[in-house]
Amino acid sequence: MRILLLPFIFLLGACASPVSHDASAASSHLGFDFPPRVEALGLRNVHVYDDAAYGAVANYRLSSTDSLIVSVYVYPSLVLEDGSLQSLDAHAQDELTGLMKHYEGAKQVEWPFTGDGASRDFRQAALQIDDENRGTFYSLLRIVDFGDVRIKFRISYPPAHQSAALHAKSFLLAYPQLRVE
């Protein structure tokens, strides 16, 4: 049951208004930093979930009202009943399926940029979503594997945001994806 609920919990967490802490100071979770600024995007809030299995999320934006949102989730890899870790492929498929179910009519599109510096094993997908409340927007999903921990990037922006893809690419290039243990 947890496998099925996990994508929806993360999805809801991205939409909810997490409790903020001092966004001017760096924070960390499971050995990964959430720096106060990554390129042009500033840390807006960090939320640590009550259930440790769901980890923590940090949200970054250009400004408090900008439509480009980069959410960085850090959480433990799912341990299956046999004691093994859920594969990255299965995890990414669960996340994508959850997004596609949540946003009926979402279409997979090409990843909007290349050469964004990923140095670890990862899976990614890009969706175009037509939402009656938010209008049309892109939702980029990238999950990076660190063995016992995974980092998930959710990047959302409307197509009309002319610099969003450039800022998202810069963020992914600059985000420190190394454990600080």
What is the chain's pLDDT, residue by residue, as a tens digit (181 residues)?
334 334 433 443 443 334 444 454 557 788 888 999 999 999 999 999 999 889 999 999 999 889 999 999 999 999 999 999 999 999 999 999 999 999 988 999 998 877 666 678 889 999 999 988 889 999 999 999 988 999 999 999 998 898 998 999 999 888 866 555 5
Residue 86: Cβ within 10 Å count: 16
The pLDDT value given to residue 151? 92
- Spell 127-160 as b/e; 16+ CB within 10 A means b: bebeeeeeeebbbbbbbbbbeebbbbbbbbbeee
The answer to whether the CB of 107 falls within 8 A of the CB of 128 is yes
Which distant-in-sequence residues (6+ apart) come within 8 Å of 2 by Cβ? 53, 78
Q: Set out the domains of the chain in order of their start, with CATH numbers.
A: 2-174 (3.40.1000)
Rounded CA separation 170/41 (Å): 10
pTM, two decimal places = 0.82
The pLDDT value given to residue 4? 37
The pLDDT value given to residue 5? 35
The answer to whether the CB of 111 falls within 8 A of the CB of 140 is yes
The pLDDT value given to residue 20? 43
The pLDDT value given to residue 177? 64
Place of tokens 């810069």: 170
Rounded CA separation 106/104 (Å): 6
The answer to whether the CB of 2 falls within 8 A of the CB of 139 is no
The pLDDT value given to residue 112? 83
